[in-house]
Amino acid sequence: VQLVVPMAVVFGQGSVPGDLPRPLPFRDVQEMEISVNLRTSVMSRYEMRYRSTTGQEEAALAAATAREADAALHLLQDTTFGSLTMYVVPETSSLLPQGTNVFVGKHRSALVRAVGSLAALQARLREVTQVMSFTASSIAAALSDRVPDGQLSPDARRYLKSSLGYEITFSLLNPDPKSHTVDWDIEGAVNRYVKPVLDKLSLVANFSVDSQILYYAVLGVTPRYDKESSSFLLSAHSLPHVINPVEARLGSSAASLYPVLNFLLYVPERSHSPLYIQDKDGAPVSTNAFHSPRWGGIMVYNVEAPASPQASLPLHVDVDMARVMEVFLAQLRLLFGLSREEVPPEFLLESPGNEGLADWELDHLLWAHTVENIATVSTTLTSLAQLLDKIGNIVIKDDVASEVYRAVASVQSAVTKLSLGHLHAAFQASKEAVTSSERAFFDPSLLHLLYFPDDQKFAIYIPLFLPMAVPILLSLAKIVRETRLRKKEPTKMD
Amino acid sequence: GGMAAAALLLLLVAAGPGPGRTDAGQERRDALREELLLSPLPTGDVAATFQFRTRWDADLQGGAVSHYRLFPKALGRLVAALGVRELHLALTQGFWRTRYWGQPPLQAPAGAELWVWFQPTVTDVDKAWKELSNILSGIFCASLNFIDSTNTVIPTASFKPLGLANGTDHHLLRYAVLPREVVCTENLTPWKKLLPCGSKAGLAVLLKAERLFHSSYHSQAVHIRPVCRDASCLAVSWELRQTLTVVFDFFSSGQGKKDWSLFKMFSRTLTDTCPLASQSKVYVDISPKNKEKELLEVSPPPTSVHEAVVQGDKKTYAVYDLLSPSLFNTSRSLNVQLKWKRPQDSSEMPIPTLHAQRYVGGYGLQTGEICTLIYNTHPYRAFPVILLETVPWYLRLYVHTLTIITKGKENKPSYIHYQPAQDRRRPHLLEMLIQLPANSVTKITIQFERALLKWTEYPPDPNHGFYVGSSVLSALVPSVIAMKDMDVEQSPLFTSLFPSSDGSSYFVRLYTEPLLVNLPTPDFSMPYNVICLTCTVVAVCYGSFYNLLTRTFHVEEPSRGGLAKRLANVIRKFRGVPPL
């Protein structure tokens, strides 16, 4: 598989390095191999076009701040999925603040401060492209099924598997409805905070959002009382036991087959308030929340104790949804592998604003999911082929066969599209390939239990084979005994 | 005039703040009401019926984003995704003996029963029905996934929508019964999980599996239907009723005493209320049986006493309101007890106006006869009844043998709908409207022939027999006592589930016994036996042939003995001793 990233490197006035091999504009190709395991490796190929700025771009770059320049440049760019545009600005440019060398915009472009030589510039550009498209580790995470154990970073197991859709469920857990009546304006919060992000992500998958309130749902562990702070503590090592009893109440997504992302807001019971989560070092976690890889997140929401102890129960609580949603959205980004923490320090990232997600972050997801989809299809088809090899007389219906053909065709087209740099088309093709291959694999006619294994057929005929074998074996034994005797006899003759 | 205008103005002001935003804590859009009805049965058994009713003033069908509070999300999603208008699911173990126990508050046939009305917008009803039964089987851990076209029927007259409906196109209705289904703990747990308070608080703490299944009848049901939000009926609310009925047989198992208490039945008492419930009541049926009022007493003293006419019978209920603060003041827990003051003579048992009985007649394994007896014990009123009979395809009904005889005369049904079965595709459906004369027994017989099944079609343990689901009787039974137009909300339980017509009659739906029919069953070990036998014969022949072909025959010289003797002679020769 070859991943091709079309890139444009645009030199502003006074930023052209001295040691260019050819006069501008020219083209160049850089290749990088990402090896996943001994047999699999992914080739990434950056097709770079070097050119100098046009007049309009120059005018845009003359803006006062990087943000304004980014907005102005957006209108002049190539906006296809997966493509990148780098604007190299002079070393002394005041567009970038002191100390930052790279400004990554909201869309698919970045401003890069020029360095002396072309080689140094290319090294910097490579860093930027890895942030904005994919890194070796993000591709390895997408192919995590094939990476040998132990070589995978723990982060890689956190990301959600690629799927055609996701169901997001927000649950408010109120284990103590006698003392707390908790209200949350989830409808408003979803519309305000979650909807914009999901609208953007709708290119990647279908999302459905719902919420529920569960009463008398308790965590699986009893928190420890801490005298110093007169609060209750959940230590990091007990967190794995928290989810199981809650999950039984969450209710499975009976109506669809998509994976569910659970976000739980836990209002601790009055006898366990306030409740804080401790990290491994014993320090309280500032957000009072944690996430569970590929499952979702839990946030503990403490209710302030009433000023007067004789305040009438139940206590009415209105949840501050802005605070809660900030945490849940951060967890959502984390689960999709869009964390912004792994960026080198001299990078400045433009905040995505209302949409919650920059264009290049979307590309990042698309790259990873396309690669993962292709891997999934090949795994599915391989195991299907193995099954068919094992059972010789299995019946393959025409519709199953056509699904397999379609899956193969789609995956091939996805691979070609990737090597042409058409990211979006490749992703669509890979999605179709996944659908077809799953449909073929899970076809009820291919259940291997429907077919008699050969050893059972043999077992039925044991009443024939056994009595027939007895005289043969007996006479064989006799022959052996006689030959042994015949050997013995001459020695005794002497 | 001035007063009225002021009142109107006040109303307008009150309605001012937008309807979209609910005023937190003040006005919920959903409400939970829970009730428990304890009724001593004429035989001395005790029936306990729980009802948890969740009402949600929201439109489940529209809107992409859904936010649930008291209404369970799993069921809400189901209703929204599959275009369900009304859903009735009952899982039952045992049989309600109407003749001895009286009219049930809500009966269900043995096994699993599911009937669903779909929205007119659903294009492929069969596909939605299949999908729905699969999902429900996942939610309730029941084998509802065995519902397919061979046990699904579309009744034309028996099942009307119980909720709000503007059309009754029966093609949107599907009905199926699985009489073989066994109901147990694994079905109760998911049912309890749908309750907002789970089994942690309120009446649901009594629902302990080990007691509930130690009973002679257990039926749990889920009913979802749209209802009018208010009297003007401009908006729709969704109502979820979860009901559970158990019958404990204390009389036969407990030393012949008919006294009971909550603790004795459920091995626990009520200690607190579910804080989410807006109503939580326990009703005890203390209706005087023989005009003698002082026959039984309940303790502790009830909060109030309520009189109502339920199913043509005047009933008196002792009501315990768990939400009233005085109830838990005196003692920490509520343990309702009932004591009979003097032993009751069980000879006079009231016989319900309508009851029925069904059995299989005939002998041999080829033909048979299904007989249904319907009793109308009303002294002077005749009334019609709709009989719905669903018979699997492997019993081939002969419709020309259908006879309906009342008081020795043939009784011609005024409406017959018969849909013949198709082998392996659909069952027989027979619906009839029969007039039952006053004080009469009607006997309905129909003959059938047993079909032969393919060997893969037999269920495990085929010699147990094949079940035929209960037939359904629906009737408007004239009441002996004139019914007042009572406040439905005040009366316990099911009075509001079935539509109440005018005061002179009440709706009853009864189920008859399921039938167990033996089909000609092949000897399933026969192919293997044949294989064994033939193989043995072949092997024996082979053995003798083998012997014949491989043995070398030569004349044995009598002087030279066996191998041992020859060896011995060789040795003797060495030693110089004469041979043997």
Domains of chain B, each with CATH number or no CATH: 30-340 (no CATH), 354-486+498-517 (2.60.40.740)
pLDDT for position B372: 95
Looking at the structure, do residues A174 and A315 belong to the same domain, yes or no?
A: yes
CA distance linking residue B399 with residue A360, whole number of Å: 73
Per-residue confidence (pLDDT) for residue B253, from 0 to 100: 63
pLDDT for B118 equals 92
The pLDDT-based confidence of A449 (bands split at 50, 70, 90) is low
**pTM of the predicted model as reported, rounded to 2 decimal places:** 0.84
**The pLDDT of residue B63:** 60
pLDDT class of A116 with cuts at 50, 70, 90: confident
Under an 8 A CB cutoff, do B81 and A256 touch?
yes
Question: What average pLDDT does chain A have?
Answer: 82
User: CB–CB of B440/B376 below 8 Å?
Assistant: yes
Give the pLDDT band (50/70/90) at residue A100.
confident
Under 8 Å CB-to-CB from A13, ≥6 apart: which residues?
A52, A53, A58, A90
Task: Supply the range of the domain harboring residue A474.
Answer: 453-489
Instruction: Say if CB B155 and CB B388 are below 8 A apart.
Output: yes
Token duo for residue B104:
């049930």
In which band, very low, low, confident or very high, does the pLDDT at B11 lie, cut at 50, 70 and 90? very low
Question: Which A residues 178-197 touch B at CB under 8 Å?
Answer: 178, 181, 183, 186-187, 190-191
Question: Residue A31: inside a domain, yes or no?
Answer: yes
Pairing label, strands B383-391, B395-406: unpaired
Tell me: pLDDT of B468 over 90.
yes
pLDDT digits (tens, 9 = 90+) for A173-187: 998 888 888 888 888
Residue A355 counted as domain residue? no
Closest CB to A183: pick one of B24, B66, B73. Answer: B24
> Closest by alpha carbon to A111, among A88, A143, A81?
A88
End-to-end CA distance of chain A: give it in Å, rounded: 80
DSSP string, A437-451: HHHHHT-GGG-GGGS
- pLDDT given at position B415: 92
Residues A239 and A318 in one domain: yes
DSSP B271: -
Give CA–CA dist B540/B137, Å, rounded: 53
| Whether A429 and A471 share a structural domain | no
Residue, of A160 and B407, whose pLDDT is higher:
B407
| Mean pLDDT, rounded, for A449-460 | 74
Transcribe A2-36 into DSSP letters.
EEEEEEEEEE-TT---TT-SSPSSEEEEEEEEEE-
Q: Are residues A103 and A210 in the same domain?
A: no
Q: Which residues contact B30 (CB under 8 A, 6 or more apart)?
A: B54, B55, B56, B57, B58, B69, B70, B71
Q: What confidence score (pLDDT) does residue B251 get?
A: 67
Closest partner residue to B68 (CB to CB) among A211, A216, A316 is: A211
CATH number at residue A203: 3.40.390
> Picking from A179-188, B336-345, B384-393, which range would have the lowest pLDDT averaged per residue?
B336-345
Residues A185 and A242 in one domain: yes
Instruction: Give the HSE-up count for residue A77: Cα atoms under 13 Å, Cβ half-sphere.
Output: 28
Could you tell me which of B385, B352, B353, B358 has the C-alpha nearest to residue B513?
B358
Does the pLDDT of residue B160 top 60, yes or no? yes
Longest CA–CA span in chain B (Å) reads 153
Give pairs for B486-492: CB < 8 Å, separation 24+: B486/B308, B486/B309, B490/B306, B490/B308, B491/B306, B491/B308, B491/B310, B492/B35, B492/B37, B492/B281, B492/B283, B492/B306, B492/B308, B492/B310, B492/B317
> For residue B382, how many other CB atoms are within 10 A of its CB?
14
Higher pLDDT, A263 or A253: A263
In a domain, A431, yes or no: yes
Answer yes or no: is pLDDT of B22 > 50: no
Please give the Cα distance from B391 to A110 (Å, whole number): 74
What average pLDDT does this structure show over B126-136? 93
B30, B77, B542: best to mutate for the A interface, most A CBs within 10 A:
B77
Q: Chain A residues with CB inside 8 Å of B196's CB? A: 215
Question: Which of A190, A210, A466 is closest, CB to CB, to B68?
Answer: A210
Residue A354 lies in a domain: no
Identify the residue with better confidence: B254 or A333: A333
Cα separation, B48 vs B35, in Å, equals 10
* Whether the predicted pLDDT of B13 surpasses 50: no
Higher pLDDT, A116 or B88: B88
Residues A441 and A468 reside in one and the same domain:
no
At A448 the pLDDT is 63
Q: What is the mean pLDDT of chain B?
A: 83
Option in A208, A253, A464 nearest B535 (CB)? A464
Please tell me the distance from the alpha carbon of residue B17 to that of residue B77, in angstroms, as a whole number. 30
| Residue A348 belongs to a domain | no
Are A461 and B536 within 8 A, CB to CB? no
Check whether A153 has a pLDDT greater than 80.
no
Angle between helical axes of B73-82 and B125-140 (0-180°, round to 10): 170
Which residue type does A291 have? H
pLDDT, average across residues B66-75: 86
Q: Is the pLDDT of residue B371 over 90?
A: yes
User: In a 3-state reduction of DSSP, which class is residue B447?
Assistant: strand
Confidence check: pLDDT of B154 > 90: yes
Indicate the number of domains in chain A. Answer: 4
Residue B67 confidence (pLDDT): 84
User: For residue range B28-40, what is the model confidence (pLDDT) as tens digits?
Assistant: 688 898 999 888 8
Cβ count within 10 A of residue A179: 19
pLDDT at B80 over 60: yes
Do residues A206 and A318 share a domain?
Answer: yes
Contacts of A206 (CB under 8 A, 6+ apart): A164, A165, A166, A258
Give the pLDDT confidence score for residue B567 in this predicted structure.
82
Considering the domain architecture, whether residues A172 and A313 belong to the same structural domain is answered as: yes
Shortest CA distance to A18 belongs to which of A140, A115, A127? A115
Give the whole-number percent of chain A exceeding pLDDT 90.
11
Instruction: Please enumerate in sequence order all residues whose Cβ is within 8 A of that of B260, keeping only pairs 6 or more positions apart, or say none.
Output: B40, B46, B248, B250, B337, B338
CATH number of the domain that A433 lies in?
Answer: 1.20.1270
Contact A215 B81 (CB under 8 A): no
Tell me whether residue A151 is in a domain.
Answer: no
Mean pLDDT of B210-226: 91
CB-based contact (8 Å) between B81 and chain A?
yes
Query: Residue B16 has what pLDDT?
Result: 33
In a domain, A352, yes or no: no
Q: Enumerate residues 6+ apart whose C-beta is below 8 A from A215.
A: A174, A175, A177, B196, B197, B198, B200, B276
**Cis preceding-peptide flag for B196 (omega within 30 of 0):** no
Which of A187, A215, A461 is the closest to B65 by Cβ? A187
Supply the DSSP symbol for B11. H
Per CB-CB distance under 8 Å, the chain A contacts of B18 are none
Q: Answer yes or no: is A411 within a domain.
A: yes
pLDDT level of residue B24 (50, 70, 90 thresholds): very low
User: Is-contact A364 A338, C-beta < 8 A?
Assistant: yes
Do residues B241 and B232 lie in contact, with contact meaning Cβ atoms separated by under 8 Å?
A: no
Residue B174 has pLDDT above 90, yes or no: yes
The answer to whether the beta carbons of residues A69 and A111 sit under 8 Å apart is yes
Q: Do A108 and A242 belong together in one domain?
A: no
pLDDT at A63 over 50: yes
Q: In terms of CA atoms, which chain A residue is nearest residue B570? A: A493
CB-CB neighbors (< 8 A) of B69 in chain A: 212-213
- Pick from A303-312, A358-367, B452-461, B472-481: least confident: A303-312
Q: Is B535 on the interface with A (CB under 8 A)?
A: yes
Is B548's Cβ below 8 Å from some Cβ in A? no
d(CA B105, CA B572): 104
Is the same domain home to A326 and A187? yes
Whether the per-residue pLDDT at A460 is higher than 60: the answer is: yes
Yes or no: say if A319 and A183 are a contact pair by the CB < 8 Å rule. Answer: yes
CB atoms near residue B263 (< 10 Å): 15
User: What are the strands of the beta sheet with A109-113, ordered from one edge?
Assistant: A26-35, A41-52, A2-11, A84-89, A109-113, A102-104, A347-349
Instruction: Return the pLDDT at B450.
Output: 92
Domain identity same for A37 and A138: yes
CA-CA distance, B324 to B300, in Å (whole number)?
14
In angstroms, the CA A264 to CA A219 distance is 11
CA dihedral A193, A196, A200, A204 (to 10 degrees): 50
The chain A residue lying nearest B128, using CA atoms, is A255
Burial class (CB in 10 A: 0-12, 13-18, 19+), A335: buried
Contact A479/B at CB under 8 A: no
From chain B, pick out residues whose CB is under 8 angstroms from the CB of A452: none
In a shared domain, residues A178 and A248: yes
Residue of B nearest to A318 (CA): B24
Q: Is the pLDDT at B490 greater than 60, yes or no?
A: no
